[in-house]
Amino acid sequence: MQSPRDSRWPEWNRCAPRCSTRAAVHAPRHRSPQPRLPSSVRKRNDYARKQQLQEKNLVSREVVEQAATHSREAAAELRSAGFAVEVARHELEAAKTALQFSIANNGEAAPETVSIKAPINSRVLQIHHKSEGVLVTGEPLLEIGDPAALEIAVDVLSADAVRIRPDTRVQLLRWGGPQALDAVVRTVEPTGFTHISALGVEEQRVWVIADLVSPRKNWEQLGDGYRVEAHFILWEAEDVLQIPTSALFRQDDSWVVFVIDAGKARLTTVPTGHDNGLITEVLDGLAEGTQVILHPDDRIEDGVRVTAQ
């Protein structure tokens, strides 16, 4: 069985925000004007009086400057009290609005509901405000988006970004599907940002935005914020002779490689073309099928007998 106070609890509980806010509005009026306004006037008059005395050389300049400081402090306190009154008034209006549109009104229906229509056909991606409450103007409620209009955002090193152009082909790997996806670079953002790598090294990176061109059915399970591994195709050609980059090293001003010829290592100079850090194009000096030595150390010299493993 509820007591008389318990049965009236919803009513006085709803009144609490309004009552407390009204008290906040009236408090500065009772506290601030009586002690602060006379003090401000008194200190301003005291400053003016000491200015007159200083003109007659009856007080020092330091005394006048101290009075000026007190006068400015009193004026600032008065302005602060005025701002506090304005803030409390805004809080009162917010509390009134909360009471007006609250659905916790003795079980009654809300006096008014507001319908919010999405500007596009989309799906809800994230909900920022899940429960009822007072909203500030401009506060986000939820994020919506069209899963069929995904874009790919890849952060690359700035040294690599300068070689990427719009319409560059992109292959997306390790995204979770059975096959690679195709995309095309839309834009390379003109500004970079600093990123701290896993090793603690500062890196300058740039966002590259690409659009998917593979059929929608191939990536319909891909969603917002999913991880992909992007490979940018900066150059491609048919019938390219290539070797692992780890087989090459510099000698004088040329790239050289050790090839295996009749069981011996032979130092061979090779002009190189494009490379991707792992594979390098060989323009001349080697024939297709020639064996090369990977990661040659200081024990490998021209003419040393070697065995292929």
Q: What is the pLDDT of residue 102?
A: 59
**pLDDT tens column, 186-195:** 999 999 999 9
Lowest mean pLDDT across 78-92, 104-118, 167-181, 244-258: 104-118
Is pLDDT at 42 greater than 80 in this prediction?
no
Share of residues in the chain with pLDDT > 90 (%): 39
pLDDT for the residue 12: 39
Final residue belonging to a domain, choices 45, 77, 101: 101
Instruction: Band the pLDDT of 105: cuts 50, 70, 90.
Output: low
pLDDT band at 160 (very low <50, low <70, confident <90, very high): very high
| Cα–Cα nearest to 183, from 201, 164, 169 | 169
What's the mean pLDDT in 74-91?
83
Tell me: do 13 and 66 sit in the same domain: yes
Residue 20 lies in a domain: yes
Are 265 and 191 found together in one domain? no
Residue 173 included in any domain: yes
Verify that 201 and 274 share a domain, yes or no: no
Residue 248: the pLDDT is 94
In a domain, 38, yes or no: yes
- Per-residue tokens: 17: 């925000």
Domain that holds residue 49: 8-101
Q: For residue 112, give every residue at least 6 positions away whose Cβ sits within 8 Å of its Cβ, in sequence order, or none.
A: 101
Whole-structure pTM value:
0.54
* Phi/psi-derived region of residue 299, left when phi > 0, alpha when psi is between -120 and 50, beta in every other case: alpha
Q: How far apart are the first and last CA of the chain?
A: 90
The count of structural domains within the chain is 3
